[in-house]
Structures are given as structure tokens and as C-alpha cells.
Chain A
Amino acid sequence: MPELRKERLDRGVKVRSDSIYALSSMKEILYLLGPGLVLILLLLVLPLVVSPYWQRVMAITGVYALLSISFGFLANYVGLVSLGGAFYVGVGGYLSGLLNAAGVPLILSIPIATLLGAVICTLLLLPCLPLRGVYFAIISFIYPLFAGRLIAATGYFGGTDGIPGLDRFPSIWVALYMAIFILLIVLYGLSRMVNYEDVGLVFRGVKDNELAIKASALNLTWYKVQAVFISSAMGTFAGAYLAHLYGWVGMSLFAIDFSILPVAATVVGGSGTLYGPLLGALILVPASESMRAFGTLRIVFYAVLLVFFVVFWTEGILDFLKRKYEQFEHWVRI
């Protein structure tokens, strides 16, 4: 019996579109645009067909997706592993809540909270920017824990009760499509920046090699500040959005889920790109929600799912799908 080996080869269209574009038909153009179009269409159409309960789940999923992309951008393209997601959400949420409670309408309080919150988060993380890897992760994780305790202990900003009675979005449709549009715009803008803009290459240089960035007459800290600002602005927007989705802000905005789920989403979806964390969030949040029927056992199933990915499927879903899409496999004799 002859021994067989599985051989993988790039599909022709993949080769032709790799660095120089030599496409010959609409079919091939569709092949390249396909995945993106499917994602956009799915996000736009899905709200029309699901029940109101799942519409809310979708809105929350959008928040986590935004946080996961924010995490993926910093981790995969700038080399900073930030567990500050919960802090961004908390700062954005409380800022928007305080502004709204003071009479600023929702349409202004969200953008102000997003930008001002990102400035605050960036300034607070500024002293830790020389740190890398797990050290930066630990420090950024301390902020949400600290902020939550601080509010509970001092009773500022409504203390443990939070600030109730905030403006809500006029309808779930507005809320949902706002989340979807912001998500798509962020995704398009970020992936353009890291792949085609020169400043994106500087960010990737920061990840690969800090000394070379310094030797290239570029101010390393300034580029890290820019990256942290972009990433935290996505988080503070998510927080401000949640504040008005619930009509309430409270300490639960500093819940560590917002920091940890992006990591899990990256494990499930696959690291190295922005789309891996996005895919992970789009799978994990609805999955967690649909397991609600199991009660507290939900956490167990959730953990088993994560362990499965960490142990058996380390490449993540996105890389697997990408491989199937771009290559064909066949058995050859050896």
C-alpha cells in the first residue's frame, strides 16, 4: 500500500492576486471581494429577520466585537497587549452618563465621551508605555479593577447604585444599525491603515522592532500614544453606547468581561489580523447567550469550548477558513 501525503497548493486566483493584481474575470473579482461582502450583507440583513431579543444580543455583540478589534489592533499590529478594555468601557460609559445627566443630549454626549474618554485613558496609560508584553497587560488590567473599587468606596458618580434615568436610543433599530455602521467603518479604516498606510507600517514596526523605529528618527512613544488613543477610543465609544442602550451606568461597566472576552475571541477567531478577533466575538457572544438556558452550567460549557480551541485548534477559525478558501488539498503518493 503506497503511503500518501496531503499536499496543499494555492488556488490560481490567490497567486494572481497576491502582490500584483492580474485578474481576468468578474468571477475572480467576486472571489476576492466575496468574504467582505458576505460579512457586510450578513450584518445589514440579520437585524431584519431576528426577534427583538436577539436584536439586543446583536447590539451587545457589536460592543464586544468593537472591543475585540481594539484589542486585536493593539496586540497584533502595535505589540501592546492591553487588558484595559473594561477601563475604556467604564470611562466612556460614565463620561457619557455624567454628561447626559447634566443635560447634554445623547447625540453629543456619545462623541464627546468617546474622544475625551480616549484622551483620559491614553494619559493614564502613558507612564506604562515603555512596558511590553505581559507587563503592560497587567498594568492595564489594574485600572478597571481600581476604578470599580474606587467608585464603590467613595460613592462618587452614584456609587454602587450608578446613574439611572439616562436617555435611551429612540429605538432598537437606531441602536443596532449605529453599532453595525460604526463597526464596519472602524474595520475598514483600521484594516486600510495597517495594510496600506505608511503610519500603519510604523505601527507594525513598533511591534516588530522598537530599536529600529528609534533609529529611523521616529518618536517611539508618540506612535504608541497614537495607537493607544485609537484603540481606547473604540472602547470608550463602546462604553458610551452601552450607557444609552441600558439608560443607566454603573460599576458593572468596569466588569472584567470587557477585558477578557477580546482575549478569548482572539483565541477562537485566530490571531494576527483584525478579522480573527472580530469573528471570535461574533461567535462567542451569541454562543454564550444561547447557552443561557443551562443556567450556571453555561460557564462550564463556555470553558470547555475555550479549552478545545486552546488545545486542539490553535490556529483559530479564521486561519482555517482562509486556508480552505485560498488553497486546495489533494493526496499525493510518496
Chain B
Amino acid sequence: MSDDIILKVENVSKSFGGVKAVDNISFTLRRGEVLGIIGPNGSGKTTIINLITGFVEKDSGKVYYKGEDISEWQPHKIADVGLARTFQAMRPYPTLPAYKNIIPPLYSPRARRSARGKLGDRSAVAIDLLEEVGFERDARVPYKLAGALPLGYLKRLELCRCLALMPEMIICDEVFSGLSMSEIVSMVPLMEKLQRDGITLIMVEHRLRELFKIAKKAIVLNFGEKIAEGSPDEIFNDPKVKEAYFGGEDSYVFK
């Protein structure tokens, strides 16, 4: 069923000076699927997110979202059709309380078109949404200044900003990175809930064990190229992946 395809990335490339950050990457994603993107540092994971969501201009290639060519669109227009993203380096408004951080996306045209956007008081909606992602209302966490929140809450705040747009798809840039083990453990059910709610997810990750609790397939990048694609088993047994991560079996590590 081809209408099931929500995102189609076709031969996308980007160079920064002489460095090929993303080299001719293609993949497709069906509605409701969870795709992991993994790879060593500097392999182009964040760049591919920036290319899909319009934050960085592509050198070549096309991106189709729900059959529509969004290759040349501005970031806010892409978010407006329901393709949201988080940032790896969290981007809160530090001088505002956490719940007021959620009001700009609730004020966006997309949110205002929806049923929830017509509810009236956006502060109340914002606090409800923050509670959904784990801000304890009773402990008054939503009222704390975003600049003073610990990392775990900032990651949730990032997610919440996406959820306020009522997205059909979220691209998450390393939601687990930098978190303590207990914070990661509490984050996994949240991601699973998003999946159950029917939101298509792309997760760029280094934490493979947690990633594969949620994602059933992944692509592996190295030096901007896609070196493998498939289920977790297929990926771990791929010789190219082993080489990318461990330097190959003939490297000194194994000798």
C-alpha cells in the first residue's frame, strides 16, 4: 500500500565545504512506524534531520511528506503540516516558566486549527500537556523557569513542544542522551505511548538497547552514507556496521 507511506527521502545530499555530511541518502517510512537512525559521531545523523525539516538547505534530493514535495519548504511550514522535531541541544525559552514555553506552539496556526486549540485558555492546556510528558503538576514543576530545569525535564519539554502541535510525525534528536539510567527508564514508556497514539517516529540515538525497545527497524550512517538498513538483528550482524563501530575485525582492537 503506497498511500501508507508518510515520509519518503530520495537521494538527499549535503556538503559543508569539502565534507560530505550526508551523501545520497534514501529511505521511506510508513505511517505509525518507528525508525531508528544510528551511527558514530559525525556520521550525519543530525544533518539529515535538519535537511528533512528544512532547517538546512539541501544540495540535492527530494523529501516527500504524505505524498507532497516539501523539499523547498520553510521549517515553520513543514512543522505546520504536522512534521515536528526536537533539538539535541535543547532549545527552551530560559526566561519563561516551563508552561509558558508551550504557549508559542499552542498559538501556532496548526494548533489553533485543531479542536484543542479552540479550548480557550492556553496556559491550562499547556499545563495538561506538560503533565502528560511527566511534569508533576502537584510539585509545581510546570511553573519553574525553563532555564532552571534539570536535563531530564528539558528533554520532556522539547517533546512537549512537539506534542502541542498535534503532530503526525516527530523526529527526535537523541532524547536519551545525557540522561541518567533512571531517567532513561522513565522516558521509554513515554516514547512507547507516542507510538501507541499513532505518531510516526524517527529516533536518532546512541542508546541502542533502549532504542530497539521502541524501534523495529533502523538505518546506520557512517561518514554521511547509509551503510545498512533493517531489523536490529540484521544490523548487528552486518559486517559494515561492525567495521564502522569497531574499526573492523582486522583492526588492532581485536588483535
B residues 34-53 near A (Cβ < 8 Å) are 53
Q: Which of B76, B79, B95, B165 has the most CB of A within 10 A?
A: B76
Is the pair B92, A216 in contact by a Cβ cutoff of 8 Å? Answer: no
* Known contacts A198-B103, A211-B55; A217 and B91 CB within 8 A of each other: no
How far is it, in angstroms, between the C-alpha of A219 and the C-alpha of B77 when the chains are bound?
Answer: 8
Is the pair B107, A215 in contact by a Cβ cutoff of 8 Å? Answer: no
Main SS class of interface, B: helix
Is the pair A217, B76 in contact by a Cβ cutoff of 8 Å? Answer: yes
Whether B96 sits at the interface, judged by CB under 8 Å, is yes
Whether B143 sits at the interface, judged by CB under 8 Å, is yes
Specify which of A199, A208, A217 is in contact with B110 (CB 8 Å cutoff).
A217
Q: Which of A198, A204, A216 has the most CB of B within 10 A?
A: A216
Measured CB to CB, the closest approach of chain A to B113, in angstroms, equals: 10
B residues 130-155 near A (Cβ < 8 Å) are 143
Which chain A residue shows the least CB distance to B53? A215
Whether A283 sits at the interface, judged by CB under 8 Å, is no
Measured CB to CB, the closest approach of chain A to B223, in angstroms, equals: 26
How far is it, in angstroms, between the C-alpha of A215 and the C-alpha of B104 when the chains are bound?
Answer: 10
Contacts of A205 in B (CB 8 A): 93, 96, 101, 104
Is the pair B91, A211 in contact by a Cβ cutoff of 8 Å? Answer: yes
Count, A-B residue pairs, CB within 8 A: 83
Is the pair A218, B91 in contact by a Cβ cutoff of 8 Å? Answer: no
A-binding segment of B2-10, B23-31, B80-88: B80-88
Is the pair B108, A216 in contact by a Cβ cutoff of 8 Å? Answer: yes
* Known contacts A198-B122, A217-B80, A217-B110; A208 and B103 CB within 8 A of each other: no
* Known contacts A198-B103, A220-B76; A215 and B84 CB within 8 A of each other: yes
Main SS class of interface, A: helix
* Known contacts A198-B122, A201-B100, A201-B107; A216 and B161 CB within 8 A of each other: yes
Whether A212 sits at the interface, judged by CB under 8 Å, is yes
Measured CB to CB, the closest approach of chain B to A22, in angstroms, equals: 15
Whether B105 sits at the interface, judged by CB under 8 Å, is yes
How far is it, in angstroms, between the C-alpha of A202 and the C-alpha of B110 when the chains are bound?
Answer: 15
A residues 158-212 near B (Cβ < 8 Å) are 198-199, 201-202, 204-205, 208-209, 211-212
Specify which of B79, B94, B111 is in contact with A215 (CB 8 Å cutoff).
B79
A-contact 0/1 string along B217-238, CB 8 Å cutoff: 0000000000000000000000
Contacts of A198 in B (CB 8 A): 103-104, 106-107, 122
Q: List 18 A-B contacts (CB under 8 A).
A: A19-B143, A198-B122, A204-B96, A205-B104, A208-B93, A208-B94, A208-B96, A209-B92, A211-B55, A211-B87, A212-B91, A212-B161, A215-B76, A216-B105, A216-B164, A217-B109, A217-B165, A218-B105
